[in-house]
Amino acid sequence: MLDEPASPSEIEASSIFSPELYAGVRRPLAEAETMPPWCYTSTAFYRREVERIFTKVWNFIGREDRIPKPGDYFTLEFVGIPILVVRSSATELRAFANTCRHRGSLVAQGEGNCRAFRCPYHSWAYSLSGELLSAPEMHASAGFDRKNYGLIPLRLECWAGFLFINFDDDAPPLSHHLGDLPEVLASHRVEDMVCVRRKEYDLACNWKIYVENAMEAYHVPTVHRSTLQRQKGAPPEAQQTRGQWVGLFKEHQGSRALLTGDAGFPPIKSLDGKMARGSLYPLIYPSTMFGCTIDCMWWLELHPQGPDRTHLVVGSCFPREVVERPDFAEIVQNYYKRWDISIPEDNAVSELQQRGLSSPFARPGRLAHMEPLVHAIDNWVLDRVLGVTGAY
229 binds, among ligand FES, Fe ion, none (CB under 5 to 8 A by kind): none
Residue 124 makes contact with ligand FES by CB under 6 A:
yes
Taking the alpha carbons of 370, 203, 288, 330 in that order, is the dihedral positive or negative?
positive
**Mind giving me the DSSP string for 228-254?**
GGGS--PPPEEPP--SSEEEEEEE-SS
Residue 49 makes contact with Fe ion by CB under 5 A:
no
Contact stretch for ligand FES (CB under 6 A) within 16-24, 100-108, 294-302, 327-335: 100-108
Q: Pick the closer one to ligand FES by CB: 125 or 376.
A: 125
**Minimal distance, residue 345 CB to Fe ion, in Å:** 6
Residue 392 makes contact with ligand FES by CB under 6 A:
no
Contact residue for Fe ion among 216, 346, 371, 378 (CB under 5 A): 346
Residues 46-85 as x/- pattern, contact with ligand FES by CB under 6 A: ----------------------------------------
155 binds, among ligand FES, Fe ion, none (CB under 5 to 8 A by kind): none
Residue 144 makes contact with ligand FES by CB under 6 A:
no
Residue 216 makes contact with Fe ion by CB under 5 A:
no
**Minimal distance, residue 204 CB to ligand FES, in Å:** 33
Residue 103 makes contact with ligand FES by CB under 6 A:
yes
Of 287, 282, 285, which Cα lies nearest the Cα of 298? 282
Helix (H) or strand (E) holding 281: strand 278-284
User: Is 173 in contact with 103 (CB distance < 8 Å)?
Assistant: no
Residue 146 makes contact with ligand FES by CB under 6 A:
no
**Minimal distance, residue 126 CB to ligand FES, in Å:** 10
Question: 10 Å Cβ neighbour count for 145?
Answer: 9
Contact stretch for ligand FES (CB under 6 A) within 120-128, 177-185, 262-270, 368-376: 120-128
Q: Pick the closer one to Fe ion by CB: 130 or 315.
A: 315
Q: Pick the closer one to ligand FES by CB: 116 or 348.
A: 116
Classified as helix, coil or strand, 306 is strand
Contact stretch for ligand FES (CB under 6 A) within 8-16, 117-125, 226-234, 280-288: 117-125
Contact stretch for Fe ion (CB under 5 A) within 15-23, 157-165, 300-308, 342-350: 342-350
User: Is 37 in contact with 357 (CB distance < 8 Å)?
Assistant: yes
Classified as helix, coil or strand, 387 is coil
**Minimal distance, residue 108 CB to ligand FES, in Å:** 11
**Maximum CA pair distance of the chain?**
73
**Minimal distance, residue 217 CB to Fe ion, in Å:** 8
User: Is 303 in contact with 82 (CB distance < 8 Å)?
Assistant: no
Contact residue for ligand FES among 7, 88, 105, 334 (CB under 6 A): 105
Give the footprint of Fe ion on this chain (CB under 5 A): 346
